[in-house]
A and B are shown apart, each in its own frame.
Chain A
Amino acid sequence: MAYTSGQDQNSLWRTTRQILLGVIVLICLALFILWRIDSPRVERLQMAVADAVLPSLEWTTRPAAKVTSMVQDFQSYVRVYEQNEELRRELQAMNGWHEAALQLEQRNARLRALNNVQLSPQATFITGEIMAEGAGPFSRSGLLNVGSENGVMDGSAALDGLGLVGRISGVGEETSRVIFLTDINSRVPVILQPSGQRAILIGDNTDAPLIDFVEDTERVQAGDRVVTSGDGRVLPADVLAGQVIVSANGRLRLRLAADYQQLRFVRVLNYRPRPAIDQPGGLITDEQFFFGEEPE
């Protein structure tokens, strides 16, 4: 009696297990398909998890950052002499730039006074720290400790002090996820200067993203500046991304202006795209409102 019931229980248990396994496999596949079809919804779930995990990330990130900076400090200590020379040279160059900047600043102030320019108050930014990274073959992205509570919006540009780092994709309450330009899913519309051609920046998990869809590659030279074009109204225009380099097989790539080696803090631009003017004004075509009323 005891044996049979044990065996019964066993086989019952086994069947339950198999059903459970089947259900789990189905859930996984369903989630994957949902993620492929409607990623914003799954992303919201993902950011909710990130919000919940953030406190424990603090525990791991701080010591790791400390150790990394110690190692870097030690490395710089080892080559302190070279660095000193380098800094001297840089300082000399900087003196020249300093002078130029001062003059430009004065000139700018004069011109602005003449013009009575109003700078856009919308171009503010908030700085966040990278708390976690997804650095596998599937993604190059980071989790920032600023979120919708701090005014971060989906699609905002993320920069370090020097250039574009990536784009915000997925915002939680206290966290947001930045997709780096090197991520295989990253596509950014850019303009190559001075030729003024439009192109798309395509991440491919390497340190130098591809520049593709250039109309006339003859007119592009290595060292050309690459800035965002603002097409698609996701990223603001004229944010520096880097310089063109030509790889060994003749393809155009980008040397990133942002210093990815020392990336820890990231600025998120609080940028709202301006309303597009794609119609003639209502004033000329037909009279939609009288002068006393406000439009809409």
Chain B
Amino acid sequence: MTRRLTRILMLALTGFASILIVAVPVQPGATQWPMPDLLLMLCCYWVLRRPDCAPILVLFALGLIADMILMRPIGIGALTLVLITELLRAQIRTLRDTAFPLEWLTVAMLVGIGMLLQMALLWISLGTLPMPVEMAQYAGITILSYPAVALFCGGILGLRHRTSGKISYSNYLGEG
């Protein structure tokens, strides 16, 4: 139980750190390339590895904070984050045994759909839309950052798939 709490706390801290990294003003005003949505990638990776240590409320809170600090349209960033992670959570049994490139492809597709969803919501509410090229750039750079996030979480935080030897009844219940 304490182990699980530590993991959740770790997710909250890394998530917050990833928001701050994205918010760092490297060349404010003259940015050529948007920063990737590191938080989204982190949460995707985390949900696929430790679904029981990524409570939906924590994800939601992180998404909302990111929306507010990064000055994105409030609410829809958090919405995409929660929906994407829930979809991944539902597919966890199939994705557990797939190779990393396939997992990456799944995440990439979901990111693309998420961006489309954001555009659609803005369009419906008569907001100013960014150009599709920019959204594509943003989605692309976000997707490209997934292996880096995976390397960081897997290598430094030691977050990998649970090996079959470790599966116990309590784990099973936690994932159910």
Contact = CB atoms under 8 A, between A and B. Distances in A.
6 contacts: A25-B83, A49-B65, A133-B31, A139-B72, A182-B29, A263-B28
B71 A134 contact: yes
Q: Which of A59, A138, A185 has the most CB of B within 10 A?
A: A138
Contacts of A182: 29
Interface stretch (A50-58, A111-119, A229-237): A50-58
Given A25-B83, A36-B127, A61 B25 contact: yes
A134 B75 contact: no
Interface string B80-98: 0011001000000000000
Contacts of B130: 137-138, 184, 205
Nearest to B34: A136
A141 interface: yes
B158 interface: no
A165 B29 contact: yes
B5 to A, nearest CB: 18
A227 B86 CA distance: 50
Contact of A56 (B20, B29, B35, B60): B20
B74 A35 contact: yes
Contacts of B159: none
A42 B74 contact: yes
Interface in A2-44: 6, 10, 13-14, 17, 20-21, 24-25, 27-36, 42
Given A140-B29, A261-B30, A177 B74 contact: no
Given A17-B56, A263-B29, A263-B30, A32 B73 contact: yes
A76 interface: no
Interface of B: 16, 20-21, 23-31, 34-35, 37, 56-57, 60, 64-65, 68-76, 78-79, 82-83, 86, 121, 125-131, 134-135, 137-138, 173, 176
A181 to B, nearest CB: 9
Nearest to A48: B68
B56 A142 contact: no
Give the interface residue-count category, chain A: 35 or more
A263 B73 CA distance: 24
- For the complex of A and B, 4 pairs with smallest distance between CB atoms: A134-B71, A32-B75, A260-B29, A31-B75
Given A49-B65, A50-B69, A205-B134, A130 B75 contact: no
Contact of B21 (A35, A60, A135, A137): A60
A21 B131 CA distance: 31
Interface string A171-209: 000000100101011000000000000000000110100
Contacts of A35: 73-75
Contacts of A148: none
Interface of A: 6, 10, 13-14, 17, 20-21, 24-25, 27-36, 42, 45-46, 49-50, 53, 56-57, 59-61, 64-65, 68, 130-143, 165, 177, 180, 182, 184-185, 204-205, 207, 258, 260-261, 263-264
A32 B121 contact: yes
Given A133-B31, A138-B73, A260-B29, A61 B24 contact: yes
B75 A29 contact: yes
A64 B24 contact: yes
Nearest to A45: B68
A130 B28 contact: yes
A182 B32 CA distance: 12
A266 to B, nearest CB: 9
A205 B165 CA distance: 52
Contact of A184 (B64, B69, B128, B137): B128
Contacts of B26: 64, 68, 133
Contacts of A137: 34, 130-131, 134-135, 137-138
Contacts of A57: 20, 23
Contacts of B73: 32, 35, 138
B54 to A, nearest CB: 13
Contacts of B126: 36
Contacts of B129: 184
Most buried by A among B25, B30, B72: B25
B123 to A, nearest CB: 12
